[in-house]
Amino acid sequence: MRSVRRRRLIAGLLLSPLLSGCFASGGDASSADSPDGGRLRVALAFPPAERFSPYGADATLLSRLGVTEGLTKLDANGSAAPALAESWKRESGRTWVFTLREATFQDGTDVTPSTVAASLTHATQAKPAPAALTGVTLTAKATGNQQVRVTTAEPDPVLPLRLSSPGLAVLSARAYEKKGAVSPVGTATGPFELTKVNGTTAATLDRFDDYWGGRAQAPGIDATFTADGTARTNALRTGEVDIAEAIPVSQAASLDEGTGRETATMRTTSLLLNTTSGPFADEKLRAAAREAVDTSALAKGVYERHADAGQGIFGPALTWAEGKRVTPSGRVRAADPKGTSITLATYDNRPELPEVAQVLEQQLEKAGFAVKLEVREYSRLESDVLAGKFDAFVSARNTMLDTGDPVSILAGDYTCDGSYNLALLCDKKVDQAVARAEGVADTAKRQDATMAAEAAILGTDAVVPLVHQRIVTGVHASVRGAMLDPYERTLVGTGTRP
């Protein structure tokens, strides 16, 4: 029987009130050369918006900082790979059995089938539900020796992919002790543990020595959350941080050679139009907005060729998409805007987006719209967008972030019941096309159905794909093992060190 590891209750208890109110890497270097004793200093673009809840946007922060894990993870090819589950098999159309590895939570308790089943059950009861569970009814039960049986209401051929979502991280029983809140403090399984949070500006993480995947080489991480891209770049340039994510493309050329690492990603920047209320409830005005946009000018100008002109919801990083793309049909004839007033919003955490919005403002005004532009930090904007308070919104979305399954992103972002439907789209034909794709198990046929659903969505003009991004991450020359992940789920791991 496994021993119960040393508990870290003091740090967790001190932090809990604050919270409740694999891919490209480098070579070898000694961490002893770091002025901070080998601790990694990381500047992230997005501050925690939900007090580090694992069920919303903060789930990715926890994943990128090496705090949380799920039963599975994505490999470099986008396939499901072992994480807390070392293997799995499909018992029937609706049932899968996952065999767990021996692992320990950061509070010293063992990862058991019952704790895993309970954690997944809590995720199914979250309001709103994690994006990976959009349209999915799931139950989990402990069974046999180190096994968890997961059953879905309808057959789900990509369940192992779904369970790789950062929003379905496995936490210990202590995470759920406080009613109405979920705390990842000392309750996760990753190589690093949250020990201190300074509001939405900084966090301290310490190495979790009993991590099942081996002891991390860095003793901890000092993370800062800096929405301003120039400030992140300057912090890297002056040696204040070792890694800075989302370097503005306008400053990438100013970095020392080898410091700016460009990664092709699944991220598409899009113009989303409010289909429920305001001017863009009129599909003819949505068509006018689409026709006004020159995507090549954005790729060449704003992104300085660090992006490709928008072709669809899925870009070239999803290698099979282009050869299967379907031309949208049934689009209506554009109407003359005749000075129609619209409010266009975006956020400044990703430094190019305000400039994208400014160029769109000019293009839309040239087409006859009167545009009011609003820019805020993302955490102060999302709820208003979901509530339909803007007519148009510029967003950069990683289309494979939530589940690794393209169909799931379409269900979450563009169906009537989608939990992240920023365009507030509710179209019967779209829902039917997405539902057909969800039911296909064969890989090639599922890809075909995915692109047919994409075409149905584009045909509504609810979304105008602008560019497909290549992200520039700033990595100090001394850093080794930075994880430049095209899925943007990981940034640091056991081998990352300054």
pLDDT for 106-148, tens place per residue? 999 999 999 999 999 999 999 888 888 877 899 999 998 899 9
Which of the pair, 14 or 62, is modelled with greater confidence?
62
State the Cα–Cα distance between residues 278 and 285, nearest whole angstrom: 10
pLDDT range class, residue 37, cuts 50, 70, 90: low
Residue 389: HSE in the Cβ half-sphere, 13 Å Cα cutoff: 12
| pLDDT per residue as tens digits for the range 312-330 | 999 988 888 889 999 998 8
264-471 topology per CATH: Dipeptide-binding Protein; domain 3 (3.10.105)
Inter-CA distances, 265 with 215, 269, 485, 487, Å:
29, 11, 8, 6
Q: Is the pLDDT of residue 31 over 70?
A: no
Select 9-244's CATH number: 3.40.190.10, 1.10.3720.10, 3.40.50.720, 3.30.450.20.
Answer: 3.40.190.10
Residue 488: CB atoms within 10 Å:
22
Q: How confident is the model at residue 33 (pLDDT cuts 50, 70, 90)?
A: very low
| Res 50: pLDDT | 85
**Band of residue 22 on the pLDDT scale cut at 50, 70, 90:** very low
Domain ranges in the chain are: 9-244, 264-471
Q: What average pLDDT does the segment 424-428 reach?
A: 97
Query: What percent of the chain has a predicted confidence (pLDDT) above 70?
Result: 93
Q: Which residues contact 270 (CB under 8 A, 6 or more apart)?
A: 310, 313, 394, 395, 396, 397, 463, 464, 465, 466
pLDDT given at position 32 = 38
What was the pLDDT predicted at 136?
87
Alpha-carbon dihedral sign for residues 155, 129, 424, 297: negative
d(Cα 135, Cα 475) in Å, to the nearest integer? 39
Distance of CA 370 to the CA centre of its chain: 33
Q: Rounded mean pLDDT of 204-222?
A: 97
pTM greater than the 0.85 cutoff? no
- Of the listed ranges 25-29, 92-96, 101-105, 272-276, the least confidently predicted one is 25-29
What is the sign of the dihedral through the CA atoms of 485, 77, 57 and 7? Answer: negative
| Position 42 pLDDT exceeds 90 | yes
For the cut 90, the answer to whether the pLDDT of residue 360 exceeds it is: yes
Report DSSP state, residue 301: I
The reply to whether 9-244 and 264-471 are identical in fold is no
The confidence score (pLDDT) of residue 91 equals 94
Could you give the C-alpha distances from 333 to 150, 291, 293, 298, 371, in angstroms and in order?
A: 47, 10, 16, 24, 22
Q: How many CA atoms lie within 13 A of 416 on its CB side?
A: 9
Neighbours of 139 (CB within 10 A): 15
User: Does residue 163 or residue 50 have the better pLDDT?
Assistant: 163
Tell me the per-residue pLDDT of 327-347, one tens digit each, with 9 for 90 and over.
998 899 999 999 999 999 999
- Position 9 scores a pLDDT of 38
Check: CB of residue 84 under 8 Å from CB of residue 100: yes
pLDDT tens track for 56-86: 889 999 999 999 999 999 988 788 999 999 9
Name residue 204's beta-bridge partners: 196, 222
pLDDT at 34 over 50: no
Q: In whole angstroms, what is the distance from residue 17 CA to residue 26 CA?
A: 38
**Mean pLDDT score across all residues of the chain:** 90
Per the model's pLDDT, the better-predicted residue between 4 and 380 turns out to be: 380
**pLDDT tier at 8, thresholds 50, 70, 90:** very low
Q: Which two tokens stand for residue 473?
A: 């991450």
Structure tokens at 300: 């060449």
